[in-house]
């Protein structure tokens, strides 16, 4: 049983940066792989980035590779998504997710946060 709460969303101009945070509670955070997804209006929720429980393993969607960085601080029970060089196409609701293993995060996370809106202007 894990509860996830995202924060850090907002309005940013293209080319700017933003850092999202996801605070976890309810169980041992360090035992879970974590991930970020995003969903634009009218579209399905899509994988953005994932990180293993130790933080040593990460993977990214091709659309964000080289621009976004996922990280975690197990002492703070928090996972982050640093977003740089933002584009209008990055506009979406961003969701935090958790699963037992990284490969599972990408396909079928067990837990979801409520989402935080990210809007990139021209």
pLDDT for position 26: 78
Residue 63 sits at the vertex; the CA angle it makes with 105 and 118, to the nearest 5 degrees, is 80
pLDDT in tens, 81-121: 999 999 999 999 999 999 999 999 999 999 999 999 999 99
Average pLDDT over residues 30-53: 94
pLDDT for position 5: 96
Contacts 24+ apart (CB under 8 A), 100-103: 100/31, 100/32, 100/33, 101/33, 101/52, 101/53, 102/33, 102/35, 102/50, 102/51, 102/52, 102/57, 102/59
Average pLDDT over residues 68-73: 96
Tokens 């703070």 correspond to 76
């Amino acid at each position: 049983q894990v509860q996830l709460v995202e924060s850090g969303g907002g309005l940013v101009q293209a080319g700017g940066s933003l850092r999202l945070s996801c605070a976890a509670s309810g169980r041992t955070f360090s035992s879970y792989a974590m991930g970020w997804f995003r969903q634009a209006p009218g579209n399905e929720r899509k994988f953005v980035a994932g990180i293993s429980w130790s933080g040593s393993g990460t993977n990214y969607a091709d659309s964000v590779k080289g621009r976004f960085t996922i990280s975690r601080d197990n002492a703070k029970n928090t996972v982050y998504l640093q977003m740089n060089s933002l584009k209008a196409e990055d506009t979406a609701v961003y969701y935090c997710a958790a699963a037992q293993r990284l490969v599972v995060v990408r396909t079928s996370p067990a837990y979801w946060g409520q989402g935080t809106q990210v809007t990139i202007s021209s």
